[in-house]
Amino acid sequence: MKEFSLQIVTPDKTAFDGKATSLLIRTAAGDVEILAGHADLLCALGTGRARIRFADGGERFAGASGGFLSVSEGTVRVAATTFEFADELDLDRAEAAKEKAEQRIKNAKSRAELDLAKAKLQRALTRIQVKTMK
């Protein structure tokens, strides 16, 4: 399969910079899979699982949330708010975050608070899903 160059960054680090054959990621409108030669694209990312496939057949999973995906002139760039590969994730922390978010949803006083707590819960659930998946 043809490769394309893929760059994944978050505000505090570069999560991935190299070649890949496929990128599956959750956008605001649903999952998209990018292969080499994809047309130019710009869209917002949602919260969900991401999968990168490599030329040697290997694949890596990650939890991603927020930010955007841009394809321009064959280069794929992901600027996510968070992007963590499965081996970087801490299950206990994600579980704790999930419980905290659930509490917050119950106690939310305003719409904004509720939205924020829901986003936090979604992130925690994604992390747990990526970590426990095998």
Partner 1 sequence: MAGVSMNDIKARIKSVNSTMQITKAMELVATSKLRRAKMRAEQSRAYGEIATEAMKKILLAPAVADSPYTRPSEGKKVCYVVIAGDRGLAGGFNVGIFRTVQSLGLENAYVIPVGKKAVEYYRGRAECLTEAFSPVDNLSVGAAMKIARLLIDGFDRGTFDRVVLVYTRFVSMISQVPTHTVLLPLERGAGGQDPMTDEDISELLSSLLPQYLGGMIYGAIAESLAAECGARRTAMNAANKNAEEMIVGLNLSYNRARQAMITQEITEIVSGAEAL
Question: Site residues (CB under 8 A) for partner 1?
Answer: 7, 9-14, 28-29, 39-44, 66-68, 70-72, 77, 79, 81-82
Closest separation between CB of residue 66 and partner 1, Å?
Answer: 5
Residue 28 in contact with residue 43, Cβ under 8 Å?
yes
The gap from C-alpha 89 to its chain's centroid, in whole angstroms, comes to: 12
Q: Which is nearer to partner 1, 59 or 113 (CB)?
A: 113
Q: Which is nearer to partner 1, 12 or 56 (CB)?
A: 12
- What letter represents residue 117's amino acid? A
Q: Tell me the C-alpha distance between 52 and 134, whole Å.
A: 15
Closest separation between CB of residue 134 and partner 1, Å?
Answer: 28
Q: Which is nearer to partner 1, 74 or 132 (CB)?
A: 74
Closest separation between CB of residue 69 and partner 1, Å?
Answer: 9
Helix (H) or strand (E) segment spanning residue 117: helix 111-132
DSSP structural state of residue 45: B
